[in-house]
């Protein structure tokens, strides 16, 4: 039988407000355990919550950017459960009246067609504390308790692990672009759970689904969904009955393992949160929030292709984060060479950033300095090869490329007489290679150019080197 996979994602994103959702404690990541706390977020008796208006604003902003309708008369609810990371023994969240409903994200399929993935709802809620399992026992840190979250629930519209990754990537880029979340998966500010089932291809009756938790990267998401698809198909083929389980992705062993079965599902006994007033959101405020939404990544992507004439692939990569998009745009305008700006950012600079775990916003050099480097190369002052060395120095020190060039004496040599001497000596010493060339192996030219560049420590103007070698080799 042929199968089709059905996936829906539940994404929790930490909203980047300065203070928590129901009290004035800081939301800053880390800190000494239990220092970002007060009676409200510790759930002490008698402490009363206040809803942070900024959290509602960010929730609405996310909803508008994701094409949702905003619920004007909403409320907060209690979700009751007992667990050591939840000090009140209930979480204040939204049940029947989520802040936003019925939105969508568009993803591009392999055949370049556009597919709409529905968003069922977005609701706001508080995060729980963190349990630290140590050798002596389990400790609890409530710094994260009360940090605001938006939970974004997709419809079961995704039909492959790849589509799920695309959806999450797009969601991440939109949320970080509008500034409601920093979406750092490694710090837990973007977390994703998946509901997944398989059904007979072409059927409209979904199979029994499992929920997968603990996927902390795009790679883990794709691997977990691929594994789970395969596991469910194998079980069905064997005639086994699938059960509605919650499973955990085990990144070390590349498998999903069962956490709990739905037979023991919690009854959360939701009821309205009596300590908070109902939400009454007026159109004027919604419109004011709409005004604050900047150009979105996919809009930017289209504009970059049209305005800067860079390939679609480049535009896609450069608009994955707002900071990268802005860095590119400024560099492209100042250097008047968009393709070179894109190449540097996607190539050498991304590589160095990755190696050093540095974000674009923490780079020591500015778009203006990168534009200057590009202009120095385009103007023939330095070669591209030297540029690659300079960018490392710029990354480490933030110095201007001109300063580095002067300090290290890296100016490109375009003196034909001087280069001629080196070319001549290289040719004189490589008779065998010249023979190869005469026997039709034209590629050896590159090798000879390399030798000259090496001899001149990368400073010779490559165009002149190429020209001279081409001219001189014929004389042998």
**Where on the chain is the footprint of Zn ion (CB under 5 A)?**
23, 25, 38, 40-41
Task: Report in angstroms the alpha-carbon separations of 180 from 25, 31, 71, 151, 333.
Answer: 18, 22, 19, 13, 28
CB 410 within 8 A of CB 389: yes
Question: Minimum Å distance from CB 41 to Zn ion?
Answer: 3
Q: Tokens 């009246």 map to which residue?
A: 97
Question: Minimum Å distance from CB 52 to Zn ion?
Answer: 11
CB 461 within 8 A of CB 383: yes
Give the whole-angstrom CA distance, residue 55 versus residue 147. 10
CB 324 within 8 A of CB 318: yes
Question: Minimum Å distance from CB 91 to Zn ion?
Answer: 15
Six token digits for residue 30? 């880390």
Question: Minimum Å distance from CB 145 to Zn ion?
Answer: 8
Six token digits for residue 21? 């959702």
Residue closer to Zn ion by CB (options 47, 352) is: 47
Question: Minimum Å distance from CB 138 to Zn ion?
Answer: 22
CB 12 within 8 A of CB 185: no
Question: Which residues touch 42 (CB under 8 Å, ≥6 apart)?
Answer: 87, 142, 145
Phi, psi of 451 (to 5 degrees): -65, -40
CB 315 within 8 A of CB 305: yes
Residue closer to Zn ion by CB (options 37, 196) is: 37
Residue closer to Zn ion by CB (options 78, 300) is: 78
- Tell me the residue ranges of DSSP E strands in 59-216: 69-70, 73-74, 77-80, 90-93, 100-108, 114-126, 130-134, 137-141, 148-154, 190-200, 210-215
Residue closer to Zn ion by CB (options 40, 338) is: 40
Question: Minimum Å distance from CB 125 to Zn ion?
Answer: 15
Question: Minimum Å distance from CB 360 to Zn ion?
Answer: 32
Residue closer to Zn ion by CB (options 37, 427) is: 37
Residue closer to Zn ion by CB (options 50, 219) is: 50
Residue closer to Zn ion by CB (options 25, 464) is: 25
> How many Cα atoms sit within 13 Å of 287 on the Cβ side?
3
Residue closer to Zn ion by CB (options 16, 331) is: 16
Question: Minimum Å distance from CB 38 to Zn ion?
Answer: 3
């Amino acid at each position: 039988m042929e199968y089709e996979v059905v996936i829906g994602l539940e994404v929790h994103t930490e909203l980047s407000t300065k203070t928590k959702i129901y009290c004035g404690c800081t939301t800053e990541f880390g800190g000494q355990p239990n220092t970002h706390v007060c009676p409200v977020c510790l759930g002490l008796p008698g402490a009363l919550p206040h809803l942070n208006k900024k959290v509602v604003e960010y929730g609405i902003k996310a909803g508008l950017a994701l094409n949702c309708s905003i619920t004007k008369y909403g409320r907060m609810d209690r979700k009751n459960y007992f667990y050591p990371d939840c000090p009140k023994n209930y979480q204040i969240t939204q049940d029947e009246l989520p802040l936003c409903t019925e939105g969508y994200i568009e993803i591009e399929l392999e055949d370049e067609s556009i597919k709409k993935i529905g968003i069922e709802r977005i609701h706001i809620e508080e995060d729980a504390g963190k349990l630290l399992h140590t050798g002596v026992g389990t400790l609890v840190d409530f710094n994260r308790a009360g940090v605001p979250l938006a939970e974004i629930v997709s419809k079961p519209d995704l039909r492959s692990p790849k589509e799920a990754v695309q959806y999450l990537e797009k969601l991440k880029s939109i949320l970080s672009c509008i500034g409601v979340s920093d979406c750092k998966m490694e710090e837990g500010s973007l977390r994703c759970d998946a509901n997944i089932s398989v059904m007979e291809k072409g059927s409209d009756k979904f199979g029994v689904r499992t929920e997968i938790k603990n996927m902390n990267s795009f790679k883990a998401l794709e691997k977990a969904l691929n594994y789970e698809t395969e596991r469910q198909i194998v079980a069905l083929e064997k005639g086994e009955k699938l059960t509605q389980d919650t499973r955990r992705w085990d990144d070390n062993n590349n498998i999903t393992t069962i956490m709990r079965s739905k037979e023991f599902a919690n009854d959360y006994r939701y009821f309205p949160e009596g300590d908070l007033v109902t939400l009454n959101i007026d159109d004027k405020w919604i419109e004011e929030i709409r005004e604050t939404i900047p150009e979105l990544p996919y809009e930017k992507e289209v504009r970059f292709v049209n305005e800067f004439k860079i390939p679609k692939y480049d535009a896609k990569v450069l608009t994955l984060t707002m900071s990268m998009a802005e860095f590119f745009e400024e560099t492209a305008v100042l250097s008047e060479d968009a393709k070179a700006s894109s190449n540097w950012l996607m190539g050498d600079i991304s590589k160095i950033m990755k190696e050093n775990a540095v974000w674009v916003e923490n780079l020591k050099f500015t778009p203006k300095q990168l534009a200057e480097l590009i202009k120095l190369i385009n103007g023939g002052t330095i070669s591209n090869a030297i540029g690659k060395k300079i960018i490392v120095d710029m990354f480490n020190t933030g110095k201007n490329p001109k300063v580095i060039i002067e300090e290290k004496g890296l100016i490109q040599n375009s003196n034909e007489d001087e280069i001629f001497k080196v070319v001549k000596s290289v040719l004189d010493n490589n008779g065998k290679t010249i023979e190869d060339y005469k026997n039709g192996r034209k590629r050896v030219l590159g090798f000879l150019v390399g030798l000259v560049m090496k001899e001149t420590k990368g400073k010779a103007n490559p165009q002149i080197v190429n020209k001279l070698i081409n001219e001189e080799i014929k004389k042998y």
